[in-house]
Amino acid sequence: MIISVVIPVYSGADHLVALNEALARERQRWQTEGAPFELGEAIFVDDASIDSSSEVLRDLDEKYDWIRVVTLARNFGQHPATIAGILHTSGDWVVTLDEDLQHDSAAIESLLKIAAETNADIVYARPDGSVHGGYRDVASRMYKRLMVTLTRKTEVASFNSFRLLRGSVARAAASVSGHETYYDIALGWFTDRFESVELPMTDSRYANSAQSGYSFTKLLSHARRLVISSQAKALRAAALVGLLGVLVAMVFATRALLIQTLGSSQVEGWTSLFVAILFFGGITSLILAVILEYLTNVVLHLQGKPTFFTIDRSEDVILAEWFRDRDVRPTT
Amino acid sequence: MFVLRPNPATLLPTVALFGVGLIGSAISQHLVRSAGYRYSRFPFDWNQPKSQSNQMEQAMLEIGSRKQVVFVWAAGSGGFTLTSSAAAAEQTAFGVVLRAAERCAQGQSAKVPFHLLSSAGGLYEGQRLIGPNTPIRPLREYGRLKQAQETDLLDCSNLAARIYRPTSVYGLISSTGARGLIPTLVSNGLSQTVTTLFGGRQTLRDYVPVGDVGRFISQCIQDPTAAAISPMILASGRPVTLDEVISIVEQQLRRRLLVAVGPQTNAHNITFRGGTSPEGFSTADMTTGIRLVYNQWLQQGVWRQRFPHAG
């Protein structure tokens, strides 16, 4: 079984050699232990890096035949870089991790073990404690909770750039991902077997420099793509609000009519006007939501959301057999 | 067979080309268009081994006055579905050509270049991340034939062997219409007929456009300094699933393809490491390659010939 590792690179010159050494250690260890899987390739995607990463990668590429460098024409961002890398893989399993040593390559086995035991197609690493420290961790948790509410997808809470993906699912989702598609949401078009495992993680770059790769604007952009890619559940909420408006208008209209015809008192003010506004406003919202729902379906169809997807999990038993009684503990 | 003669004012060699299928046609087109070669056709009966030697003699007499001759073997039919009897017939014909090349080399100080179109798919079927040191492991008759041809050629000490192992080559020839998976998908997509796939939709392959292969080999043929070198893998290094190919074709055609899945007789993955191909060989990406096939299809009027009632 071949494992492909994909690493998008933007400003990681200081970490790349150490990361490569860590991967080489794992590769060697698996070979020595006779594991039924091998690290076949590590694909570094140079996302128009702003430091000396390109030079470091060139050296690594010349030195190791299992390392491959894919150079993007300009800075496309982490998601497109990851997709580009995945589309160059040949592995049965694909691991994506960050360049900055936040993700321990020794933990790949932990992800693989969970996949083998549960027949999962996607396994996310979940930080077992503080990653960035302080308010950023709180903000990150709140952000994820908000996204779960908006998208109604519980797996969103586990989304992490350190993930293990079944190769066929990874490539299928990557091949249909457009520039505005949220890759992890696209994965959900092909499988619902998501798992996650707690692992120690530390954002060393943030810890050392108090600077994160994610600015507030980037986070907002992420949130927008995530909600839009999620078949826009918000649309259904809008339709519901519209429907509610129509119902309220009808209740008020009935009440006003009853008071006017049967009751003793007169209905005063602009009752009919307000009821009409509420009614037609609700109808308009409802119709708009229906139209947008159609539009969403058309867009998803064009994006390549599949009608069905076949998968072969028959080799998971080999992995499960290997991991049985084997103590796999991630290191820090 | 084709004999391609260069402009007499140049020092370029005469080319004896065997097999004008997909790659052979691309090579001859490049030689004609880029280097001013002129071609003439000579009979070479693939199914009549007895007449092959005589036909070869005739062709060699025609070529004989030229000092420099280059042999190119781009023949082969059947591909992965090649039967053992067809393989034996092809090997016989290959032997006739090889002997003719050896005779041509007799009395010459320099070795006679012999370019052999082998097959990476046939030799490495079922292997992934193939590099220059990956061992050959043919699984079918087709791969075993290519392996035998390579061995036979390398055994000829007076020939300068240049062996090319292209991966899944795709493209279009005007004379015969669609060839290979991608032109078939384009053709069937336009006519909205069902394409039956004999590989899994997630089967990984490495596709290279025939134009890039033809250009590279024709440049090698024209290089008088090139000596015998180790076999060259001609791959893009970018694995592509069948699903992705279908998706790109659909985007280019702006319509959905009708696809059925047949028996999985061709479902092995075959992928290559980046940087495996020789210097000077570069390929267009899949989107560009498929767009080229589509445009070529429309320009050559093949579509109109096949569907005369279409608007």
DSSP per residue, A66-108: TEEEEE-SS---HHHHHHHHHTT---SEEEE--TTS-S-GGGH
CA distance B86 to A326: 52
Residue B311 confidence class, pLDDT cut points 50, 70, 90: very low
Q: Quote the mean pLDDT of chain B.
A: 86
CB atoms within 10 A of CB B277: 23
Which of A68, A168, A171 lies closest to B274 in CB terms? Answer: A68
Question: Tell me, what's the pLDDT at A83?
Answer: 95
> What mean pLDDT do residues A6-18 have?
92
Which of A66, A175, A310 lies closest to B244 in CB terms? Answer: A175
In terms of Cα–Cα distance, which of A96, A80, A72, A78 is closest to A169? A96
Question: Tell me, what's the pLDDT at B44?
Answer: 84
Give the side-chain half-sphere CA count within 13 A for A212.
Answer: 16
Residue A130 confidence class, pLDDT cut points 50, 70, 90: low
Chain A nearest C-alpha distance from B200 (Å): 9
In terms of Cα–Cα distance, which of B294, B169, B223 is closest to B31? B223
CA distance A286 to A239: 5
pLDDT in tens, A18-43: 999 999 999 999 999 999 999 999 99
pLDDT in tens, A311-322: 989 999 999 999
Which one of A41, A83, A175 would you mutate to disrupt binding with B, by most B Cβ within 10 Å of its Cβ? A175
Cβ–Cβ gap B247/A175 under 8 Å: yes
Least confident of A140-149, B115-124, B156-165: A140-149
Chain B nearest C-alpha distance from A34 (Å): 19
In terms of Cα–Cα distance, which of A271, A305, A105, A286 is closest to A201? A105
> What mean pLDDT do residues A234-254 have?
80
Give yes or no for residue A272 having a pLDDT over 80: no
- Sequence-separated (6 or more) residues with CB below 8 Å from residue B73: B18, B19, B94, B97, B114, B115, B116, B117, B149
Q: Is A205 on the interface with B (CB under 8 A)?
A: no
Question: Tell me, what's the pLDDT at B72?
Answer: 95
- Sequence-separated (6 or more) residues with CB below 8 Å from residue A189: A173, A176, A305, A306, A309
Hunting for tokens 């992934």 — which residue is that?
Answer: B128
Residue A134 confidence class, pLDDT cut points 50, 70, 90: low
Q: Is the CB of residue B234 less than 8 Å from the CB of residue B74?
A: no
Question: Tell me, what's the pLDDT at A211?
Answer: 59
Question: Tell me, what's the pLDDT at B208?
Answer: 94
Q: Is B253 on the interface with A (CB under 8 A)?
A: no
Locate the chain A residue with the closest alpha carbon to B269: A90
User: Helix, strand, or coil here: B286?
Assistant: helix
Question: Tell me, what's the pLDDT at B46?
Answer: 79
Report residue B181: phi and psi, to 5°: -65, -50
Give yes or no for residue A265 having a pLDDT over 50: yes
Q: Where are the beta strands (DSSP E) in chain B?
A: 2-5, 14-18, 38-41, 69-73, 112-117, 159-166, 168-173, 177-179, 195-197, 204-205, 207-209, 229-234, 240-241, 259-261
Report residue A229: phi and psi, to 5°: -70, -20
Give yes or no for residue A4 having a pLDDT over 60: yes
Residue B114 confidence class, pLDDT cut points 50, 70, 90: very high
Side chain identity at residue B220, one-letter code = C
Q: Quote the mean pLDDT of chain A.
A: 84
Dihedral over Cα of A73, A79, A80, A85: its sign: positive
Residue B47 confidence class, pLDDT cut points 50, 70, 90: confident
Give yes or no for residue A201 having a pLDDT over 90: no
Counting every residue written for chain B, the total comes to 311
Least confident of A56-60, A90-94, A305-309, B234-238: A305-309
Cβ–Cβ gap B129/A175 under 8 Å: no
CA distance B33 to B14: 15
- DSSP lists the bridge partners of residue B207 as B168
Residue B207 confidence class, pLDDT cut points 50, 70, 90: very high
Nearest-10 Cα torsion for A45, A46, A48, A50: 130
Nearest-10 Cα torsion for B101, B102, B107, B110: 70
In terms of Cα–Cα distance, which of A222, A223, A217, A216 is closest to A150? A223
H or E stretch covering B85: helix B84-105
Give yes or no for residue B172 having a pLDDT over 50: yes
> What mean pLDDT do residues B306-311 have?
53
Chain B nearest C-alpha distance from A49 (Å): 20
Burial pattern A305-327, b for ≥16 Cβ within 10 A else e, equals beeebeeeeeebeebeebbeeee
Chain A nearest C-alpha distance from B150 (Å): 26
- DSSP lists the bridge partners of residue B248 as none
CA distance A99 to A93: 19
Burial pattern A151-190, b for ≥16 Cβ within 10 A else e, equals bebebbebbbbbbbbbbbbbbbbbbbbeeebbbbbbbbbb
Cβ–Cβ gap B238/A88 under 8 Å: yes
How large a percentage of chain A has pLDDT more than 90? 43
Chain A nearest C-alpha distance from B176 (Å): 32
> What mean pLDDT do residues B232-237 have?
94
Comparing B264 with B241, which gets the higher pLDDT? B241
Q: Is A315 on the interface with B (CB under 8 A)?
A: no
CB atoms within 10 A of CB B257: 19
CB atoms within 10 A of CB A85: 27
CA distance B58 to A123: 67
**Token pair belonging to B244:** 């992705």
> What mean pLDDT do residues B256-284 have?
87
CA distance B192 to B258: 7
Longest dimension (CA), chain B: 62
Cβ–Cβ gap A90/B274 under 8 Å: no
Question: What is the interface pTM, i.e. ipTM, of the complex?
Answer: 0.82
Give yes or no for residue B178 having a pLDDT over 50: no
Q: Which of A210-219, B188-197, B261-270 has the highest mean pLDDT?
A: B188-197
Side chain identity at residue B1, one-letter code = M
CA distance A12 to A15: 5
Give yes or no for residue A332 having a pLDDT over 50: no
Comparing B155 with A224, which gets the higher pLDDT? B155
Which of B200, B244, B271 lies closest to A90 in CB terms? Answer: B271
**Token pair belonging to A32:** 């020595």
Question: Tell me, what's the pLDDT at A329?
Answer: 61
Which of A2, A88, A175 lies closest to B243 in CB terms? Answer: A175
